[in-house]
Structure formats: C-alpha cells, structure tokens
Amino acid sequence: MSVIAPNFKLSGFIQSLLDNIFWILLLVVLVGVPAIFMILFVIPLPVIDGELLTPFLAFSALVNPTRLLPIIHAFLTTDIFRVMAFPGFGFAALLAASVIFVERKMMAKIQLRVGPFYCGKVEGILQLMGDGLKLISKEIIIPAKADKPIFWAAPVLFVATAAAFVALIPVAPGWVVADIDLGLLGVFAVIGFFPIITILSAWSANSKYPFIGGIRALFQMVSFEIPLILSLLGVVMLTGTLNLSEISASQSSFPWIIFLPIGAIVFFITMLAELERIPFDLPEAESEIVAGWLTELSGMMYGLVQLGSYLKLYAFAALFVVLFLGGWNGPMIVPAFPEQIITEGIEMGPIVLTIDGLGPLLHETITQEMLNGTLWFVLKTAGVIFFIILPRGVFPRVRVDLLLNLGWTKLIGLCFINIFIALGLLYAGVLGPGGLQ
Amino acid sequence: MADIAFLALTVITIGSAIAALEMRSLIYGSIALMGTLGGIAGFFLLLDAPFVALFQIAVYVGSIAVLILFTVMLVKRELIFKKIEDKRRKFAGIGLMLIVMVSLGAIFIDSGIKTITTDEPPVDFRDIGADFVIYYWPALILMGLILAGTVTGALVLARRVDVEDDQRTN
C-alpha cells in the first residue's frame, strides 16, 4: 500500500499548526499593527456623515448596521471598488471563471462524455478551484535559454491588457470603470497590444512550438483586426458617438443588430479569430504544435494566461452586447424594493426595526435600474458566450491560407457592404435625426 | 501634476529612443521603440488630443511596432549587419543631433510660442472632422487616390501565379 506521507504524525501536524499560529500572532503584533498605524498617519481617511472614519469607528460600526450602511455606501462609490470589484476586474474574473467550468461541462455534454464530475459533490462544481490550486502549487519552469525578463512579464502583461479591455465595458447605466468619450477607439488601441504580447512571449521561450504558434497568432490577430474595426463603423455612423455608454443608451427602443446584421456577423467571426477559438484556434492547435504559444508556460504563468484569455472572451462578448444587442436595455423585471421598509421599518410584533442608512444606498447607488440593467447585461453576455463556445463542439480547425483569405477578402468586403447599409439608412432618414430615434 | 507627467513622459520618450538606437538586442530595441511611440501618445493626451493619442497607440504601437518585431524575429541579424565600432562616427552623430535640436529649439522659442494662451477648451474632434470634409476635401481626395494607387501597386507587385495542386481544394 502506497502512502503519500509515510512519516505522518498527527501530533507533529498539530504542533506545526500551533507553531505557525504563534509566529503569525507575534509578527502581527510586533510588525503588522505598528505598520498599519504608521500607514494610517499618511492616508487621508474618508469623512462619512460628518464624522472622520477612524479605525476605532470602523470597528464599532461593524456591529451596528445603521452606522455600517453609510460606510458601505461610501465604499461602493469609490473608484477602487469600481476597478477591483463590480464593473471591473472582480466581476469579470468571476464571470470568466464560471465560463471555464460551463465550457468544460458543455463540451462534455455535446460529445456525450461526463466532464468534470468528482471534484465537489454536485457535478464536479469545485473542479475549477481544484485546477486553480494545482496551478498555484506547481513549479514554474523557465526554459534554459529563455529570455527571462520578457518571459516573466508576458503573462502579467496579458492579464493587464485584458483587464484594461474589461475596464472600458459599461455594465449598467453609469457603472463603468473608464467612461471616456473615445471608448471604442480605446478598445481598438487595447486590442492592438494582444499580438505584441503573444509574439514576445512566444519568442522569449526560445522553443520551436511556441514560436510557430506565436507567428500564427500574429498573422491571425493582425489580419482580423481590420475587419473587426471596419465592422463596427456602421454602429458608430448610426449613433454618432464613440462613447460605449452612449452607444448602449441609444439602443433603448431597438438593438442595432436589427439594422446591421452583416456587421454583427462579421464582428462575431472576427471575435472568434481574435480569441483564438475553434474554428480559428491555429495558434494553440494542440494536435499539431503541442499547445502553440502556451507550450513552455507552466504553473501559475499558464494560469494567468488562461485567466487573461477568458477575461478577453468576456470582454469581447460584452462588447458585442453593448454594440449590437442593446447593452443593459431590457424590460424591467427586477421588483422594486418595498418602500415601506425604508421609510417605516420592519414591524415584528411589538418591535419596529428601522434601518437608517438604507434609503440613500438604495436610491442613489444600488437602484432598481442598476440591478435590472446588470441582470439583462449578464443574461445577454451569457448568451453570446454560449454561441462563442458552441463551435468548439461542432467545427474542425480551418487551414491557415483559408483563414487569411477569409479575413482579407471576404470579411472586408462584407464590412464595406455593412457600411453602405448604414450610410443608406442614415441618408434615407430611417435612422438618425428625424428618423426612428 | 501636468508638469510631472510631462517630465516623466519626456524621460520615457527620450530614454527609450536612445535605448532603441543603442541596444545590442534588436528585440529589446524594438520594445524600446514601442516605449517611444507610447510616450508620444502620452504627449498627445497631455495636449488634449485623445483622438490622435489613441490612434497613435492603435496604429504605431499596435501595428507598426508589431511589423518591426516580426521582421526582426524572422531575420538573422548576423546575415545583414556588420558591426562597425567607430567612436568618431558616434560622436559626430551626437554632435549633429545636438546642433539640429538646438536650432529647432531656437526656432520654436523664437516663434512666439510663449505668448499662446493655454486655457482654451480642447478642440472637439467632430469639428476637426467637419473641417476636413468642408475645407480640406481636395487634399482628402488626393490622399485617398494616392493610397488607393499605392495599394493597387502593392497588390500588382505582390501577385504571383499560384501553383495548382489537385489535392488542395478551397
């Protein structure tokens, strides 16, 4: 019988745990707490309800919901929350992670397999966590003659670029990290970085398969960027703005896919190519060149690139939703929060429980419109992601020359047809000033 | 704040430009070139021209730099370049650059740039677009024709007769 750890002793294990706890406590008391108090001298603390938020106040507020809610409200409106949690990285990473699991399970169902099954009691629901732990605990191996600085930086840069892309996506009215006037141009600028990072990572590994994969990725991304940009010009012409929030808001009565179906189809195909997904997964063709440009990446570096590519998938799907499917617009299906609880409180027999800070929180930040918009946005994005991962179970891989031929001739031609349709709609007066909107 | 950003961008742009010229490794040189182009995009942002800045990033950093990287990676450097170590040429180059820079700076300072008021609102890119269509349309059409001619010429030059292969069917 083979045992993983033959010299295991429970007492030794408990002793090591106690040792760790002792050292952590000692270090926190001697180093951590003084460091926190030194940092607190420098950081300007927020003023909430006319009171400076000191650490003592924060701790006392933790047990009192009336005092805690304004603090939460103030935190929800900060930029750091937007960047890290809701419309930004955290939200996108959560969606991206769930996409990985859904994709594996869906592929399995399409191909009549079981898929992830044992990790977690219900249908292998903890498989992703297990994979993450495995990737974190694996050793990172750098190839012997690799160019170390670029090889280390590439996965981090990949995630950073994908996160910059995510930051431009408006999720609900007013809920966007970077609401810039030239949002769509920003998207084009960010997309341009992906081929650079890919080819640098592939070159720096100093190995054949990554380099072949990287060159394929470069060909594919650069040649499909042109139809991608051209296919979005129709929407820009009809809305007259490059701001993604305004484009989203302009589709309150109908989505642009009704008028510009060719542009939507071309954008969808170019999206598949930019994301390196089947049928355009030549850069990662596992039956020809091992794992393409990811071959030499190991451990958490591979995990970071995976995270980045799924963030990119979410961002592209969200961009499709914002430009063609109406973004957050949709019928109001989220019920309104009962006004009685905010104004009068909850009656429980003889006791009336009133919560003071609830009104401003629900009227200014987490409004009904915001919840409804987020719900519709997530539903539409999930639908688009479903159609992005569906070809993986259906189609084979295309050849390189067919791919380039498709990108350079057919798709660009279709893009121009789409632009002429948009111009025709504009000049015929169907849309734009005096038209339907 | 703007001054600090300007100084930082200047250091990044000039430093990476020098690095792009002086680096022994061509790959690192082209990465430094990307830094230079990105720094110029930052200058455009400081000048309230985000439209130009984003196009600078999308076109120069995103496409031109990729082209350079790609060429550098596919080509063996030893086959093309011979290393010439010549101190005098180097110093002559630095001297020439200094002369050009100083004379350009003198022209700029002399041109009355100090009297320009800087608190005007930024120009809207829609106005620029309208100006292009209304006042500068002959130049636009000329540019379009030249570009179309160039692309057609490139296509004609790059054309080749495909070898027929019965086993490959499109």
Give the residue-averaged pLDDT of A94-119: 87
Q: Give the Cα separation of A241 and A249 in Å (integer).
A: 11
CA atoms lying within 13 Å on the CB side of residue B19:
17
Helix (H) or strand (E) holding A351: strand A351-353
Residue B48 within a domain = yes
Helix A193-204, helix A208-239: angle, nearest 10: 180
Q: Give the Cα separation of A260 and A267 in Å (integer).
A: 11
Beta strands in B68-108 (DSSP E): none
Residue B96: band (very low, low, confident or very high) from pLDDT cuts 50, 70, 90: very high
Q: Give the Cα separation of A299 and A302 in Å (integer).
A: 6
For residue A10 the two structure tokens come to: 């429970």
* φ and ψ at residue A133, rounded to 5 degrees: -60, -40
Nearest-Cα residue of chain A relative to residue B68: A196
Nearest-Cα residue of chain A relative to residue B28: A150
- Which residues of chain B make contact with A181, given a CB cutoff of 8 A? 50
Residue B105 within a domain = no
For residue B38 the two structure tokens come to: 């990105």
pLDDT tens figures, B101-131 = 899 989 888 877 777 666 667 667 778 778 8
- Looking at the fold, whether B144 and B76 belong to one and the same domain comes out as no
In chain B, count of helices (H) and strands (E)?
8, 0
Query: Of all residues in chain A, what percent carry a pLDDT higher than 70?
Result: 97
Residue A26: band (very low, low, confident or very high) from pLDDT cuts 50, 70, 90: very high
Highest mean pLDDT among A240-244, A297-301, A352-356, B9-13: B9-13
Highest mean pLDDT among A16-30, A57-71, A112-126, B7-21: A16-30
Question: Could you say which of B65, B80, B95 is where a domain stops?
Answer: B80
- Looking at the fold, whether B2 and B73 belong to one and the same domain comes out as yes
- Asked whether the predicted pLDDT for residue A21 surpasses 90, the reply is yes
Q: Give the Cα separation of A107 and B118 in Å (integer).
A: 59
Chain B nearest C-alpha distance from A255 (Å): 25
Give the residue-averaged pLDDT of A69-94: 83
Q: Under an 8 A CB cutoff, do A218 and B70 touch?
A: yes
- Which residues of chain A make contact with B65, given a CB cutoff of 8 A? 196
Q: Could you give the C-alpha distances from B31 to A196, A219, B72, in angstroms and in order?
A: 9, 19, 11
Nearest-Cα residue of chain A relative to residue B125: A182
DSSP secondary structure letter of residue B24:
S
Nearest-Cα residue of chain B relative to residue A196: B66
- Which residues of chain A make contact with B125, given a CB cutoff of 8 A? 182
- Asked whether the predicted pLDDT for residue B169 surpasses 80, the reply is no
Question: Could you say which of B59, B80, B101 is where a domain stops?
Answer: B80
Nearest-Cα residue of chain B relative to residue A190: B58
Q: Give the Cα separation of A275 and A165 in Å (integer).
A: 13
Q: What is the pLDDT of residue A148?
A: 87
- Alpha helices for A325-367 (secondary structure H): 339-343, 358-360
- Asked whether the predicted pLDDT for residue B49 surpasses 70, the reply is yes
Q: Under an 8 A CB cutoff, do A195 and B66 touch?
A: yes
User: Pick from B50, B57, B73: which is nearest to A203 by CB?
Assistant: B73
Mean pLDDT of chain A: 85
Q: Could you give the C-alpha distances from B160 to A70, B155, B157, B163, in angstroms and in order?
A: 71, 10, 8, 9
Give SS3 for A346. strand
Give the residue-averaged pLDDT of A34-45: 81
Q: What is the pLDDT of residue B134?
A: 86
- Looking at the fold, whether B21 and B75 belong to one and the same domain comes out as yes
Domain ranges of chain A: 83-427
Give the residue-averaged pLDDT of A157-172: 91
- Looking at the fold, whether B76 and B140 belong to one and the same domain comes out as no
Residue B21 within a domain = yes
Question: Could you say which of B23, B49, B80 is where a domain stops?
Answer: B80
- Looking at the fold, whether B69 and B130 belong to one and the same domain comes out as no
Residues of A with CB under 8 A from a CB of B: 147, 150, 180-182, 185-186, 188-189, 191-193, 195-196, 199-200, 203, 211, 215, 218, 222, 225, 402, 405
- Looking at the fold, whether B74 and B143 belong to one and the same domain comes out as no
- Asked whether the predicted pLDDT for residue B45 surpasses 90, the reply is no
For residue A244 the two structure tokens come to: 């993604």
Domain limits for position B148? 125-159
Q: Give the Cα separation of B51 and B54 in Å (integer).
A: 5
Any idea how long chain B is? 170
Mean pLDDT of chain B: 81
Query: Of all residues in chain B, what percent carry a pLDDT higher than 70?
Result: 81
User: Pick from A192, A195, A199: which is nearest to B57 by CB?
Assistant: A192
- Asked whether the predicted pLDDT for residue B165 surpasses 70, the reply is no
User: Pick from A147, A186, A222: which is nearest to B66 by CB?
Assistant: A222
Q: What is the pLDDT of residue A349?
A: 77
Q: What is the pLDDT of residue A2?
A: 59
For residue A429 the two structure tokens come to: 């007066």
Q: Which residues pair with A175 in a beta bridge?
A: A172
- Looking at the fold, whether B63 and B138 belong to one and the same domain comes out as no
Nearest-Cα residue of chain B relative to residue A400: B170
Residue B114 within a domain = no
> What is the total count of domains within chain B?
2
Query: Strand A351-353 to strand A51-52: parallel, antiparallel, or no bridges (unpaired)?
Result: unpaired
Residue B40 within a domain = yes
ipTM tops the 0.85 cut? no
**Contact between A132 and A303 (Cβ < 8 Å):** yes
Residue B83: band (very low, low, confident or very high) from pLDDT cuts 50, 70, 90: low
- Which residues of chain A make contact with B58, given a CB cutoff of 8 A? 185, 188-189, 192
Residue A160: band (very low, low, confident or very high) from pLDDT cuts 50, 70, 90: very high
Q: Under an 8 A CB cutoff, do A203 and B51 touch?
A: no
Residue B47 within a domain = yes
Q: Give residue A161's identity as a one-letter amino acid code.
A: T
- Asked whether the predicted pLDDT for residue A127 surpasses 90, the reply is no
Helix (H) or strand (E) holding A218: helix A208-239
Q: What is the pLDDT of residue B103?
A: 93
Q: Give the Cα separation of A136 and B98 in Å (integer).
A: 52
Cβ–Cβ pairs < 8 A, chains A and B: 60
- Looking at the fold, whether B148 and B76 belong to one and the same domain comes out as no
Residue A130: band (very low, low, confident or very high) from pLDDT cuts 50, 70, 90: confident
pTM reported for the whole predicted model: 0.81
Chain A nearest C-alpha distance from B85 (Å): 26
Burial (Cβ within 10 Å: 0-12, 13-18, ≥19) of residue A383: middle
Chain A nearest C-alpha distance from B45 (Å): 12
- Asked whether the predicted pLDDT for residue A7 surpasses 80, the reply is no
Q: What is the pLDDT of residue B81?
A: 62
- Looking at the fold, whether B1 and B70 belong to one and the same domain comes out as yes
- Which residues of chain A make contact with B123, given a CB cutoff of 8 A? none
Residue B113 within a domain = no
Q: Give the Cα separation of A87 and A90 in Å (integer).
A: 8
User: Pick from A147, A181, A193: which is nearest to B62 by CB?
Assistant: A193
